[in-house]
Chains A and B, each alone.
Chain A
């Protein structure tokens, strides 16, 4: 198993390198650089401008620029926003990142709480009413664009019934304690459900088919023959074994979740990383765009790595070939 983890790490490092190369190439291809605005400023003479270019290393050969770029990222210096007049990128991202993390965790909790019981139940009682309902939900959940679902959710639950707010994270920033938390959760219900939809459908289908495989295996028959209770068969034998492949799925679904957050946040005007990203795209604010790309890329690759390692811990049979 340690051998596997080490080999997996050895694959991880070139992937990170490739990722940074791609994003650096995109950043270089993007028009403008930190001095673009100053070039048109008549108070700066061409000599001073050239000198500043030299000082910032913009005339260096590309590999040197890449090295400088990546080392400042590693030190937590993400550069300056081109749109918000020199505000540092990390201060822009920092404020939004937590909101997205909360929304993502909330959606993931919904996914697990719905998908696992539904998947297991469908596998226990295939072709039951709930199984058919789950299958139909799975098909629609994967086919409906999340922004369309979000719009319907706003139309039904926010406009028609007025149960949940359609925008933002809070209705009164002065709230404290439990009231603030409840208010926040109240605001997260609709975006959370929207973001959770596609993932829930995917997990449920996986869970159902994995649990069906497990339920057909010999050790379940042995457990039944020994006279073990239904409860123990479902929870101790079926659930634990069917959950193992879900670990890998989580690694891959992680990127899908983050991508989905971009659109979901936009629909609900939720102040997270996704809305910041879309604003930056609209404003052509390249330093912010590249920083978000790198942040998401590294997070997703790290998530995959973690999932693979956890998988090898959970299932000792796994080998890396």
Chain B
């Protein structure tokens, strides 16, 4: 009975590419599709920020600090008289860009170290993995803050670099793991005996076969990056003012007066983070199921 079913679906899908099959499985996951829609709306809103508000998120009017909502400032103003709605939109831009850039950077480090460790094995592998284990074990939040304390000035690019160099090991592990499982396969052996260079084998044979787990984990990592950025900005050690991010908007709520009297100032950026991270996690889980139909969800 079960066998019949799979045969039937195999017949139906016989002329579809692997990409189409993956996409089809992904579209069946309602939460993942909801995640894509929500995230698209958020991205659209932050891109169209100049059309949605005419206020400058970095310039405030000191005569109008900590105002409640009004038709002019629909979410009120912050402690420096800046428009909260404009900061919400432009801050989302920074939070998303930082999250995305940090993920790409971390992925780049993970790809290089993971490929070297998984492909060559031996001593270089144990060295890379010991360092990775160490970074995985340490509270990387503490490590990242320590590096920030040593540096004089933190710009967005420095900040992205710091969170990338403290978070790369989880991607290294994944990439190394998939390389190890592929290493003994015949097509790798055949590529080697045909005299392909190491670089060619890694980029043309290993990576395309490991692409599923890499995309899934990079996606989930972006969610972590957004939380990390907001956490560090929240305690005043992230992206410096006056550049808005969701995290440093929330840091205003450390002031009990803002927390108590102006929930409209701190709840929206918090919800922004929550919705973004939730959407990304849904998409990541959906991608995992789509790439690997056998996986059971944790």
Task: State whether B141 touches A18 (Cβ < 8 A).
Answer: no
Q: A263 and B235 in contact (CB under 8 A), knowing A155-B260, A297-B138?
A: yes
Cα-based distance from A57 to B130 in the complex (angstroms): 31
With contacts A259-B141, A266-B254, A296-B142 known, what are 14 further pairs, Cβ within 8 A?
Answer: A15-B133, A15-B134, A15-B137, A142-B281, A143-B274, A145-B231, A155-B263, A159-B260, A259-B140, A262-B145, A263-B235, A266-B234, A281-B149, A292-B142
Q: A159 and B259 in contact (CB under 8 A), knowing A151-B266, A300-B139?
A: yes
Task: State whether B139 touches A263 (Cβ < 8 A).
Answer: no
Q: A148 and B133 in contact (CB under 8 A), knowing A30-B149, A31-B150?
A: no
Contact pick for A139, options B148, B250, B278, CB 8 Å? B278
Q: Which residues of A contact B139 (CB under 8 A)?
A: 255-256, 258-259, 262, 296, 300
Cα-based distance from A290 to B145 in the complex (angstroms): 11
Taking CB atoms and an 8 Å cut-off, the chain A residues in 130-168 that contact chain B are: 139-140, 142-148, 151-152, 154-155, 159
Residue of A nearest to B226 (CB): A145
- A interface SS class: helix
Give the interface size class of chain B.
35 or more
Contact pick for B148, options A31, A256, A281, A292, CB 8 Å? A281
Taking CB atoms and an 8 Å cut-off, the chain B residues in 111-150 that contact chain A are: 130-131, 133-134, 136-143, 145-150
Interface string of A99-129 (1 = CB under 8 A from B): 0000000000000000000000000000000
Minimum C-beta distance from A213 to chain B (A): 9
Choose among A15, A143, A262, A304 the residue with the greatest number of B CB atoms under 10 Å from its CB: A143
Taking CB atoms and an 8 Å cut-off, the chain B residues in 251-298 that contact chain A are: 253-254, 259-260, 263, 266-267, 270, 273-274, 277-278, 281-282, 296-298
Q: Which residues of A contact B77 (CB under 8 A)?
A: none
Is B163 on the interface with A (CB-CB < 8 A)?
no
Give the interface size class of chain A.
35 or more
Is A270 on the interface with B (CB-CB < 8 A)?
no
Is A293 on the interface with B (CB-CB < 8 A)?
yes
Task: State whether B298 touches A206 (Cβ < 8 A).
Answer: yes
Is A284 on the interface with B (CB-CB < 8 A)?
yes
Is B214 on the interface with A (CB-CB < 8 A)?
no
Minimum C-beta distance from B63 to chain A (A): 28
Minimum C-beta distance from A305 to chain B (A): 10
Minimum C-beta distance from A153 to chain B (A): 11
Cα-based distance from A159 to B143 in the complex (angstroms): 34
Minimum C-beta distance from B168 to chain A (A): 14
Contact pick for A26, options B140, B147, B250, CB 8 Å? B147
Q: Which residues of A contact B259 (CB under 8 A)?
A: 151, 154-155, 159
Task: State whether A262 touches B146 (Cβ < 8 A).
Answer: no
Q: A255 and B138 in contact (CB under 8 A), knowing A148-B270, A151-B253?
A: yes
Interface string of A167-194 (1 = CB under 8 A from B): 0000000000000000000000000000
Residue of B nearest to A286 (CB): B149
Please give the residue numbers on chain A whose beta carbons come within 8 Å of chain B beta carbons, in ascending order: 11, 14-15, 18-19, 22, 26, 29-31, 139-140, 142-148, 151-152, 154-155, 159, 205-206, 209, 252, 255-256, 258-259, 262-263, 266-267, 277-278, 280-282, 284, 286, 289-290, 292-293, 296-297, 300-301, 304
Task: State whether B130 touches A14 (Cβ < 8 A).
Answer: yes
Task: State whether A209 touches B146 (Cβ < 8 A).
Answer: no
Q: A19 and B149 in contact (CB under 8 A), knowing A143-B274, A154-B259, A281-B237?
A: no
Is B230 on the interface with A (CB-CB < 8 A)?
yes
Cα-based distance from A155 to B136 in the complex (angstroms): 34
Q: Which residues of B contact A31 (CB under 8 A)?
A: 150
Minimum C-beta distance from A122 to chain B (A): 13
Q: Which residues of A contact B138 (CB under 8 A)?
A: 19, 255, 296-297, 300
Task: State whether B296 touches A15 (Cβ < 8 A).
Answer: no
Interface string of B201-215 (1 = CB under 8 A from A): 000000000000000
Is B221 on the interface with A (CB-CB < 8 A)?
no
Minimum C-beta distance from B96 to chain A (A): 15
Is B227 on the interface with A (CB-CB < 8 A)?
yes
Choose among A26, A145, A205, A206 the residue with the greatest number of B CB atoms under 10 Å from its CB: A145
Cα-based distance from A165 to B40 in the complex (angstroms): 40
Residue of B nearest to A284 (CB): B149
Cα-based distance from A297 to B138 in the complex (angstroms): 6
Contact pick for A300, options B137, B260, B267, CB 8 Å? B137
Task: State whether A209 touches B278 (Cβ < 8 A).
Answer: no
Minimum C-beta distance from A32 to chain B (A): 10
Minimum C-beta distance from B148 to chain A (A): 7
Interchain Cβ contacts under 8 Å between A and B, 21 examples: A15-B133, A15-B134, A15-B137, A18-B134, A29-B150, A139-B281, A143-B278, A145-B230, A145-B234, A151-B250, A151-B270, A259-B140, A259-B141, A262-B139, A266-B234, A281-B149, A281-B237, A284-B149, A300-B137, A300-B138, A304-B137
Cα-based distance from A146 to B235 in the complex (angstroms): 12
Minimum C-beta distance from A115 to chain B (A): 14
Task: State whether A301 touches B277 (Cβ < 8 A).
Answer: no
Cα-based distance from A252 to B266 in the complex (angstroms): 32
